Amino acid sequence: MRGPQRWELLALLLLAVGVAALLWLYAGDFLAGLLLHRVALLDARWETIILQSRVPGWQPFWAGVTQLGGPDFLPWLLALMAAACFATWRFFDGFLLVAGTAILAVLVQLIKVTTARARPPAAEMLSPAFPSGHVSLSVVIYGLLALYLLATLRHRGLRLALVTVLAVLVAAISWSRLILGVHWPSDVLGAWLLSGLWLVLLWGVWRTYHSRHPHYGLTGARQTWSRVALGLLGVVGLAVMGYVLSF
């Protein structure tokens, strides 16, 4: 079996496992009713422990962290990432990034509407809780960014440092949703399962495409244009991050 086929099989197997787990979580309320509300009780217990561990002085910090996974920032980041792909003539990467994220966002909203799960009592939000949209989209967008960095950067230490930062950021966003009291723990777990398996599937598609259509280094005018464009996008990205975090 060739390499691309192995990756496709692995992606499909992981997707099947994830779908099975998601179906279990999707029917969580029904199963909890049959099993003496065990899932709901565990959620309530852990939610109480998490809220009791809150330090008031840190709440503004966690509110800022959660914005990095919210609708005020992620669309900008997604647009910048897609623009960076187009600037380096990686058109398939840009399309996969935008299409994959858009499909996931629609899927998350469909599950939210269907389950109509109430938020924790401490939350002042009326939208459905399961799964966490912040966590779902953060895992996919920052995960794809990490995969692209691993594929394009040559310096091993720099790749490790940037991927570690992104992993810590996604973990912090996930924790912020809990410590702010706007999600149940199973909302975050369901988001990780959904987006994690979706990320694996996108990664399999990406590897399969690039194994058949290698991307060669840019030279001449294209290389110059790419460097200028990436520099400008970096400046815009810093400005957007500063704007979002200022609120």
Tokens for 195? Answer: 């987006």
Question: What pTM was computed for the model?
Answer: 0.76
pLDDT truncated to tens, each residue of the chain (247 aa)? 555 566 666 666 666 776 766 666 666 555 545 554 566 677 778 778 877 788 888 888 888 889 888 888 888 888 888 887 877 777 888 888 888 899 999 989 988 888 778 888 777 777 888 888 899 999 999 998 888 888 777 777 777 888 888 999 999 999 999 888 888 888 898 899 889 889 888 888 888 877 776 665 555 555 555 555 555 556 666 666 666 556 5
Fold adopted by 3-245: Vanadium-containing Chloroperoxidase; domain 1 (1.20.144)
Q: How far apart are CA 164 and CA 142, in angstroms?
A: 11
Give the C-alpha separation, 97 to 151, whole Å: 15
Domain ranges of the chain: 3-245
Q: Determine the Cα–Cα distance for residues 124 and 132; give it in Å rounded to an integer.
A: 15
